[in-house]
Amino acid sequence: MKWTRAFPNTEPEPRVIHPKKAMTVFDEMLAHNEKYAQRFDLGHLQTPPVRKLVILTCMDSRMDLEQLLGLRVGDAHMIRNAGGLATDDAVRSLILSTHLLGTRSIAIIQHTECGLMSITDEEFRWRLSTSTGKDASHMQFHAFRDLDRNVRQQVARVKHDPFLPKQIEVRGFVYDVKRGSLREVKSE
């Protein structure tokens, strides 16, 4: 299987396979990092993001945020979780980003074909309990069906959080994983 990447110069090095043990993904990461560290030139970057932007988005591996948004390392904070949801922990990170590190714009980006749209919390709790033998009835996964409605709900939650500055601009977007396009979801 041939790897294809958006960045042609970041192809993984050929795997060196020890006769007794194949390289794990962690071995590959460490090997790549060793070469990366040799040419590393970003030590001058400061913690606050240059663009004063924080992005709350999904953990989906098909979204290369720097590529699709025209950003570079150091431009924005990126908070990722399943669904790109304004959960308590995500909001905690937004509060730190705005109050401690000076971000002034928050983008909430969800995407088409999100895994959370293919299940319900009830179904997933059952699957999890069945596969682990443990009670998962207390867990919430925040599954949803209507993508635009969910984006608006996340934007509203962030805008109405009492600990986030009111002058912060918060906008929501949907990324189409098949077309590579981003569209804004207007708040109601």
Q: What is the pLDDT of residue 100?
A: 97
Closest CA to 149 of 124, 97, 106, 114: 114
pLDDT in tens, 102-118: 999 999 999 999 999 99
Q: Which two tokens stand for residue 85?
A: 């949801």
> Is residue 126 domain-shared with residue 101, that is, in the same domain?
yes
Q: Check if the beta carbon of residue 137 is closer than 8 Å to that of residue 129.
A: yes
Residue 92 domain-assigned? yes
Q: What is the pLDDT of residue 187?
A: 84
Q: Output the pTM of the full model.
A: 0.84
The mean pLDDT values, 10 residues at a time, for the chain of 188 residues are: 43 59 91 94 93 98 95 97 97 98 98 95 96 96 96 98 97 97 92
Residue 48 domain-assigned? no
How many separate domains does the chain show?
A: 2
Q: Check if the beta carbon of residue 78 is closer than 8 Å to that of residue 55.
A: yes
Give the separation between CA 179 and CA 29, rounded to whole angstroms.
Answer: 29
CA distances (Å), 8 to each of 11, 31, 137, in order? 6, 18, 46
Give the separation between CA 141 and CA 186, rounded to whole angstroms.
Answer: 25
Full domain range(s) for residue 16:
8-38
> Is residue 163 domain-shared with residue 73, that is, in the same domain?
yes
Q: What is the pLDDT of residue 135?
A: 96
Q: What is the pLDDT of residue 21?
A: 77
Q: Check if the beta carbon of residue 148 is closer than 8 Å to that of residue 159.
A: no
> Is residue 120 domain-shared with residue 166, that is, in the same domain?
yes
Q: What is the pLDDT of residue 98?
A: 98
Instruction: Provide the edge-to-edge strand list for the sheet that holds 169-175.
Output: 76-81, 53-58, 105-111, 169-175, 182-185
